[in-house]
Amino acid sequence: MKVVFLDRDGVINEFPGNGNYVTKVKDFHFIPGAVDAIRRLTEGGYKIFIISNQAGVGKGVYSLDKLKRIDRHMIKQVMAGGGRIRKSFYCTHRSDAGCDCRKPGIGLLKRALKSLNKTITHAQKAFFVGDTEGDIKTGHNTGCKTIFVLSGREDRRYMRKWDVKPDYIVKDLSAAVPLIQNENSRHPRNRRGRA
9 belongs to the catalytic site = yes
Catalytic, 7? Answer yes
Q: Using CB atoms within 10 Å of the CB of residue 89, give its burial: 0 to 12 exposed, 13 to 18 middle, 19+ buried.
A: middle
Strand 87-91 with 127-130, pairing:
unpaired
Distance (Å) of CA 134 to CA 29, 82, 106, 111? 22, 29, 11, 18
Q: Residue ranges of the alpha helices (H) in 14-63?
A: 34-43, 55-58
Q: Sheet of 3-6: strands edge to edge?
A: 87-91, 47-53, 3-6, 127-130, 145-149, 168-170
Contact, 67 vs 60, CB < 8 A? no
7, 71, 135, 172: which is the annotated catalytic residue?
7
Active-site positions? 7, 9
